[in-house]
Homo-oligomer: A and B are copies of this chain.
Amino acid sequence: MNGTHKNEDKIKHTSVTLEEERSNSRFSLVDMDIFINGKNKVNLRERSLAVIRGRPEIFDTSSFYYKGRVSKIDHCLSVEKYLITLLRNKTIDAAEMSTILSILDTPSPFDLTRGAFIPTLIQQCNEEQKKAFLKPALEYKIIGCYAQTELGHGSNVRGLETTATYLEETDEIEIISPTLTSTKWWIGSLGISATHACVMAQLYVKGKHIGLFPIIVPIRSQINHELLPGVIAGDIGPKMGYNTVDNGFLSLNKVKVPRFNLLQRFISLNRNGVITRPKNIDNRATYSTMVYIRANIASGLGSQLAKGITIAVRYTSVRRQFGDQNKQETQVLDYPIVQYRVIPILAKTYAMLGMSHEFFAQYENTVQKINQGDFSMLKEMHAVSCGLKRWSSETAVYGVDTCRHVCGGHGFSMFSGLNEFFSNIYPNIIWEGDNYVLAKQISSYLVKSAFSIKNGQKIVSNDTTRMLAKFIDPENAVNESIRYSWHGMPARTVSASKEILLDVLGYRFVSMTNVLYEKIYGDKMSWEDASIFSQCVATAHSEYIVCLYFSRHLGKLAPESNLLEVLNSLFSVTALSFLLRDTAELYRFFEERASIDRNMIVGFESEYISLIRSVRLQAVPLVDALGVPDEKLNSSLGRYDGYVYEDYVKRAMDDPINSSGSGEVTRKKFYDEYIQPVLNGGKL
């Protein structure tokens, strides 16, 4: 504000409190960062930050919160142009570009040419088409979009209405949007940027419906960027978030393209309209792409939750409210009810990042086997990937929401950094399979595996089926005390043991799978009706996998590592938060002898709370080790240096409404036109 302000001596400055919190660290920050993010990511981050910090005038987003949509897009396009220049002169590579964009944390208009158009070309082009389309796309000589979703069809891809008809006379394909609802909608990079669209359309040849295939359609002139004849396209308008991306609509009125533009890796259409399918192509391989996309979502959301929890932990550490009248007020993070909401999110952030390493490793393993013709890992990997996308997005989106809520009123300010951010990550619960729809994929895999095991069929051994077999295979000779390893154990022993916790989590999903199995095969319930119960079955399975993968990542540490103590606590907090999410799931274990009684549950609750309390002591170093730079936080509340209120006030003062230039004009207009007539109206 002004010179009249002083900090009273007895009140510790927020920056001092943060320094004190940092001194509680009992582990090496650098080692932790490398362990949880991976050496490669840490190096990329450092190189990328150097680029950003070298040209703040280009990258700075601190004024973003005041801006309207058009000027935000303007900023993003200027960043794109600059980065593409750096890319072309080889100052940066593609990985650095992607890291820079992820630090800036603002979705960018060309994101979908990179994230959807190019990957489709890689997957679906033949060699000639790669030269014609992929090469210029990689060089940004064309900008593309992937036009699948329509106004009337999202999840149900088979229901898409756009048609593509082969015209034998002219050797062309004619594309038509026959109805209003067939308008392509939500297509990223289409609204303003794209020169080309990869249009998913129902292919008709000789009057016969062939199926859904991708066709490259030029939509804007390469000369002046005007829409080409027959093309109606534009921006679909403002959204909850993602407003810096030009999601667009596209309607095609008898637009003709050469036959060559039908992407031909999985289909071949010759001059005479004869369809052939190339040999040596296994459709199942496309599933592995979906797995890869979902692994990326899960890992990316780990980094996003890291941002949210960094802001929440730092701010609740320095915010003080209530407490003993003669002392300083209490740090908000010292209140049990705040710890209880914050620390499990911190633990899950570590779990999400930690398990992602193992998730990618499993993916690579799967692809390697597929390349050798072995598809045995694919089914479980697909179910796991659906589950982890679902768990990660739910956890990250509502985790960030909780981070905002614990920041109190100030969390509601845009300067908290948590609001546009929340809106931008929100669609993760919907895209790449809506979370509620995905649950069925997982539970159906589980129930079918259970069926095979129960009926003595041969089954691929993997993380999921091993746990199923351990508990439901009638042939399984394992000793019961090994099966139910938690039996008779004190809650403290269970809570401290990764092996036993994994057993309980494993048995929980097996038990719930068994109940669902009974509904489907016993009660003959339809899968639709079972969809409600499927949700928690899928969640229980994912929670097991998260802990299993996380524990494997922890297993890479040497026993004497100073990281291990706190990581083990984070593991236990994660596992217990899963078990305590709905304890009725424990009361309802399907076998009496496996069941967990009220005493053990009460014991878990008390272990959980004391673990939370112990982790809280190192909460600030733990978020520091996540390595989220201030440029990504873009938050007054979460600043590394702890100058929370100074930065917050500065940002408020900088609001254009308060400025002496344009702000004065705005305020004068408001006064002259509205406020003054109201105030003086009484005197009329």
Given contacts A66-B237, A192-B657, A588-B598, could you give 6 more A-B pairs where the C-beta distance is less than 8 Å? A2-B232, A2-B253, A74-B669, A142-B679, A155-B408, A237-B651
| Size class of the A contact interface (CB-based, 8 Å) | 35 or more
C-alpha gap A509/B471 in the complex (Å):
37
Contact among B70, B154, B239 for A413, CB-based, below 8 A: B239
Residues of chain B with a CB closer than 8 A to A254's CB: 4
If A1-B232, A234-B655 touch, does A414 touch B674 (CB 8 Å cutoff)? Answer: no
Among B232, B413, B598, contact of A236 (Cβ-Cβ < 8 Å): B413
Q: B140, A678: Cβ atoms under 8 Å?
A: yes
Contacts of A186 in B (CB 8 A): 409
A-B contact pairs, 10 of them (CB 8 A): A1-B180, A152-B320, A186-B409, A224-B671, A237-B414, A341-B436, A412-B427, A583-B587, A584-B587, A587-B587
Contacts of A182 on B, CB cut-off 8 Å? Answer: 5
Q: Across the interface, do B329 and A156 meet the contact criterion of CB distance under 8 Å?
A: yes
Given A651-B237, A674-B81, A679-B140, also A436-B1 (CB < 8 A): no
Q: Which of A477-485, A567-575, A642-650 contacts B (4 or more CB under 8 A)?
A: A642-650
Instruction: Say yes or no: B153 contacts A321, CB within 8 Å.
Output: yes
Q: Is the CB of B412 within 8 A of A649?
A: no
A262 to B7, CA, bound (A): 27
Cα-based distance from A532 to B609 in the complex (angstroms): 10
User: Does A681 lie within 8 Å of B70, measured CB to CB?
Assistant: no
**Residues A178 and B5 in contact in the complex (CB < 8 Å), given A65-B237, A405-B429:** yes
Contact partners of A658 in chain B: CB under 8 A: 234-235
Say which residue of B11, B155, B176, B528 sits within 8 Å of A336 (CB atoms): B528
A111 contact set on B, CB distance < 8 A: none
Instruction: Bits for A402-419, please: 1 = Cβ < 8 Å to B, else 0.
Output: 001100110111110001
Q: Mark A216-242, 1 if CB is under 8 A from B, else 0.
A: 000000101100000010111111111
Contact, CB under 8 Å: B235 / A649: no
Task: Kindly state whether residue A84 has any CB partner on chain B within 8 Å.
Answer: yes
A139 at the interface (CB under 8 A from B): yes
Residues of chain B lying within 8 A (CB to CB) of residue A195? 679
Residue from the set A193, A340, A412, A528 with the largest chain B CB neighbour count within 10 Å? A412
Q: A225-B675, A655-B237 are in contact. Are A192 and B609 (CB under 8 A)?
A: no
Inside 8 A of A238's CB, which chain B residues have their CB? 65-66, 413-414, 655
- Which B residues are in CB contact (< 8 Å) with A81? 673-674, 677-678
Known: A584-B587, A652-B234, A675-B77. A1 touches B681 (CB 8 A): no
Contacts A234-B653, A412-B239, A532-B337; A645 near B152 (Cβ below 8 A) = yes
Query: B682 contacts A136, CB within 8 Å?
Result: yes
Query: Could you tell me the distance in whole angstroms from the C-beta of A39 to the nearest C-beta in chain B?
Result: 33
A666 on the B face (CB < 8 A): yes
- A683: which B residues are within 8 A, CB to CB? 141
B657 touches A70 (CB 8 A): yes
Q: Interface readout for A179-196 with B: 1 if CB under 8 Å, 0 if not?
A: 111110010000111010
Q: Flag whether A535 is at the interface (Cβ < 8 A).
A: yes
Within 8 A of B (CB), among A135-187: 136, 139-143, 149, 151-156, 159, 176-183, 186
A73 within 8 A of B: yes
Are B2 and A251 in contact, with the CB atoms below 8 A? yes
Q: Which residues of B contact A181 (CB under 8 A)?
A: 11, 645
Q: Decide yes or no whether A434 CB sits under 8 A from chain B.
A: yes
Residue of A183, A251, A651, A658 ringed by the most chain B CB atoms within 10 A: A658
CB neighbours (8 Å) of A582 from chain B are 582, 584
* Residue A614 lies at the interface, judged by CB distance under 8 Å to chain B: no
* Bound complex: CA A313 to CA B562 (Å): 54
**Measured CA separation A436–B237 after assembly (Å):** 37
> Which residues of chain B are within 8 angstroms of A143 by Cβ–Cβ distance?
675, 678-679
| Chain B residues within 8 Å of A78, by CB | 673-674
Q: Given A140-B678, A340-B532, verify A183-B1 contact (CB < 8 Å).
A: yes
Nearest chain B residue, comparing its CB with the CB of A655: B237
Asked if B77 and A674 make an inter-chain contact with CB atoms under 8 angstroms apart, the answer reads yes
A68 at the interface (CB under 8 A from B): yes
Known: A235-B652, A681-B84. A5 touches B249 (CB 8 A): no
B191 touching A337, Cβ below 8 Å = no
With A4-B176, A70-B666, A159-B329: A336-B532 Cβ-Cβ less than 8 Å: yes
Chain B hits for A498, CB < 8 A: none
Interface membership of A521, Cβ < 8 A:
no
Which chain B residues lie closer than 8 Å to A1 at the CB level?
Answer: 177, 180, 183, 232, 251
B609 contacts A679, C-beta separation under 8 Å: no
